[in-house]
Amino acid sequence: MTIRIFPTAQDAEIAFYEALEHADLEAMMSVWAEDEEIVCVHPTGPRLTGQDQVRESWRQIFAGGAGARVQVSQEAVTSGVMFAVHSVLENFAVEGQPQPAPVVATNVYLRTPAGWRMLAHHASPAPRQARAQARPAAQEVPKILH
Amino acid sequence: MTIRIFPTAQDAEIAFYEALEHADLEAMMSVWAEDEEIVCVHPTGPRLTGQDQVRESWRQIFAGGAGARVQVSQEAVTSGVMFAVHSVLENFAVEGQPQPAPVVATNVYLRTPAGWRMLAHHASPAPRQARAQARPAAQEVPKILH
C-alpha cells in the first residue's frame, strides 16, 4: 500500500470522501491513523474500534461497488495544532434513485508523524429537513431521552 | 451560573452524564465550550451547532424531568495536550421499564482557558448486541450505503 501523507486535515477529509465514492478500500484505510485506537460508527451501526474492525466494515460496504456520489455541506470545523474536528452533512446521490436523507458525520483528525489522519468517524442518519434548514425549528428537536 | 473548572476531560465527562441524569440544564451547559462552535447530535436528531441550539435542545429534553440512570461502558479514549476524544456506550435505565438499546456516543473535549470543556457530542442508537458483544459478527455490519 502506498503511504499517503496528508498535509492538512482537509486533505485527509477529501481523500476520505474520494475513497468512499470510489469504494477504494486501500485508499480508505490510508486515511485512518495507524497507531491510535480508531473509532468508526456507520449509520445505524455499532461502534467499531481498531484497524481490523474498521477495515472489515468498509470492505463489506465497498463489496457492493461504487456508484454513489457524495457531496459534503454545512461544514463546522474546530481545529488545533494536533487535532481537527469536522462536522459535516453528507449528501448522497445514486443515479436513478431518489436522493436519500442526508447523513450527519463527526470526523476527528489527528496530526501524526505520517501527516494528518482520521481518528474517528461517527455517522448517523439526519432528519431530511436538516439538508435545507440548518437551524431546526423547535418541533424538530427529538423528544426522546437524551 | 457558577463557572465550573474541569481539570481533566474525564471530569468534564462525569459532569456531562451527571447533568444528563439530573436533567440539570445549567450544569449541562457548564460542561460545553463557550468560545468554540460546539456541535451536538442527539440520537436520530439533526446536527445542532452553537450555544443557542444546543441549550434549547437540552432544555426540551430535560423538560420531561429526570429519572433515567445512565451507565457509561466500553470507553475508548484518545487524548492529547489540548483535546480528548472519548467513544462510549451509554446504557440507560428507567425504573419499571425494559432497558432500551444502548446509545453510542463520540464526545470531544478541548482544553480551554476555563478548563476542559465539551466541543462535540454525537450520539446515535446502537444495535442492541453492541452491549454484550464489542466485536460485531460480519452479518451485523450494516449493509446500507456508507
Among chain A residues, CA nearest to B91 = A146
B83 pLDDT band, cuts 50/70/90, is very high
Distance of CA B25 to CAs B5, B21, B56, B63, B110, Å? 17, 11, 9, 9, 20
Give chain B positions within 8 Å (CB) of A116: none
Least Cα separation, residue B6 to chain A (angstroms)? 20
List Cβ neighbours of B98 (8 Å cut-off, separation of 6 or more): none
Average pLDDT estimate for B3-21:
96
Candidate from B45, B77, B89 with C-beta closest to A142: B45
The answer to whether B30 and B58 have CB atoms below 8 angstroms apart is no
pLDDT confidence of residue B141: 41
Give chain B positions within 8 Å (CB) of A63: none
- The DSSP H or E segment spanning A62 is helix A50-62
The answer to whether A119 and A45 have CB atoms below 8 angstroms apart is no
This complex has an ipTM of 0.87
List Cβ neighbours of A33 (8 Å cut-off, separation of 6 or more): A110, A112, A117, A118, A119
Size of interface A-B (CB pairs under 8 A): 188
Candidate from A77, A110, A141 with C-beta closest to B60: A141
Across the interface, whether the CB atoms of A100 and B146 are under 8 A apart is answered no
Give chain B positions within 8 Å (CB) of A131: none
Candidate from A92, A120, A142 with C-beta closest to B87: A120
Could you tell me the sign of the dihedral formed by the alpha carbons of B38, A10, A125, A34, in that order? negative
pTM metric for this prediction: 0.87
Residue B140 clears pLDDT 50, i.e. is over it: no
Least Cα separation, residue B2 to chain A (angstroms)? 23
Average pLDDT estimate for B42-62:
97
Across the interface, whether the CB atoms of B144 and A90 are under 8 A apart is answered no
Q: Any bridge partners for residue B118, and if so which? A: B32, B109
pLDDT in tens, A13-27: 999 999 999 999 999
3 state DSSP class of A52: helix
Across the interface, whether the CB atoms of A60 and B110 are under 8 A apart is answered no
pLDDT confidence of residue A76: 95
pLDDT in tens, A68-122: 899 999 999 999 999 999 999 999 998 888 888 899 999 999 999 999 999 999 9
pLDDT in tens, A22-71: 999 999 999 999 988 999 999 999 999 999 999 999 999 999 887 789 99
